[in-house]
Amino acid sequence: MAHQPPILLIDAPSLYFRAYFGIPESAAKTEDGQPVNAVRGFLDMLAQLIRTRRPDRMVCALDHDWRPAWRVELLPSYKAHRVAPEGGEVVPDTLSPQVPMILEVLDAVGIIAIGATGYEADDVLGTLSVTQPGPVEVVSGDRDLFQLVDDTRKVRLLYVGRGVAKLDDCDDTAVRARYGVPADRYADFAALRGDPSDGLPGVPGVGEKTAARLVERYGSLAGILAALDDPGSGFAPGLRAKLIAARDYLAVAPKVVRVATDVPLPKLATALPTAPADPDRLLELAQQWNLAGSCRRLIDALAGLA
């Protein structure tokens, strides 16, 4: 059976934040001194992914709402520590101007980038993972996206925790090996464990191993909560007390952690081009922002798909 190329679903914020912190500003600037380290690094990551994964389709997902009101209403602490004093997300001053640059280059190349009002990039990725024909490879450094892994639908997570050059290619077996739970129970596990980076407190005193053991024994968070009301369910007294104290949190946390898969998205032209959609514009941007090398590497990677 011939190899079927995947669609690559790119968590754009995850990658451009990684690029920004991975490349010194001093190493990537325009002639007038404007940093382009995030742009250069992001484009180089895309080029490497295209060369190594050989997709035939790609979509870059964007955060049109990095802290959706519906998640905050359920859990006010959600990402609260990342809110800037003047509102909005705390983002380095020299990164913010680079995001529109990335989008301009993607548009000139012909790679789709899309977000949705009221949703995070994770939710766009989640929706595309269930609506796009497989195989699907989601590229992100966000642990929450382990929940999208689905062997039946051929959805994998290419986890970039160690960088794009050292991807962790994760199927359900890999998720179980890493966390002790199947991918479709990752959201329940994460709610129990907590995640300080997202303002998710978790259940005090319940770490990864205990969370995994609870999910394995009771099947789901709903099963755990139901078992709390059964005196014969086998909880140690101390653990039962901790879970009861966190019952209100546990009632809403899974809805916050769970990635949406029903985001309203338009029909997308996901096919990867083998040549830039607007070569003149791309050349202009490459010269203006000192991106000739990165743009060339991306175009060469695309040409290699032909």
Task: Render pLDDT for 238-296 as a digit per residue (tens, 0 to 9).
Answer: 898 999 999 999 999 999 999 999 999 999 999 999 999 999 999 999 999 999 999 99
pLDDT score at 271: 96
Distances (CA, A) of 92 to 25, 27, 35, 97, 205: 12, 17, 12, 10, 34
Domain with CATH 3.40.50.1010 in the chain: 7-182+260-303
Q: Which amino acid is at 44?
A: D
| 3-class secondary structure, 168 | strand
Residue 161 has pLDDT above 90, yes or no: no
Average pLDDT value for residue range 7-20: 97
Average pLDDT, the chain: 93
> Spelled out in words, what is the top-level CATH class assigned to the domain 185-257?
mainly alpha
Residue 1 has what pLDDT?
Answer: 46
CB 63 within 8 A of CB 13: yes
Q: What is the pLDDT of residues 31-78, one digit of tens each?
A: 899 999 999 999 999 999 999 999 999 999 999 999 999 999 999 999
**251: which residues sit within 8 A by CB, 6+ positions away?**
225
DSSP state of 80: G
* Arithmetic mean of pLDDT, 126-132: 97
Q: What angle do CA 254, 117, 18 make, to 5 degrees?
A: 70
Residues of the chain with CATH 1.10.150.20: 185-257
* Distance, CA of 292 to CA of 92 (rounded, Å): 25
Q: What is the length of the chain?
A: 306
Start-to-end CA distance of the chain, whole Å, equals 20
For domain 7-182+260-303, the CATH architecture is 3-Layer(aba) Sandwich (3.40)
Dist CA 179 CA 158 (whole Å) = 16
What residues does 271 pair with on adjacent strands? 57
| For residue 197, pLDDT beyond 60 | yes
Side chain identity at residue 111, one-letter code: I
SS3 of 4, please? coil
| Contact present, 57 and 112 (Cβ < 8 Å) | no
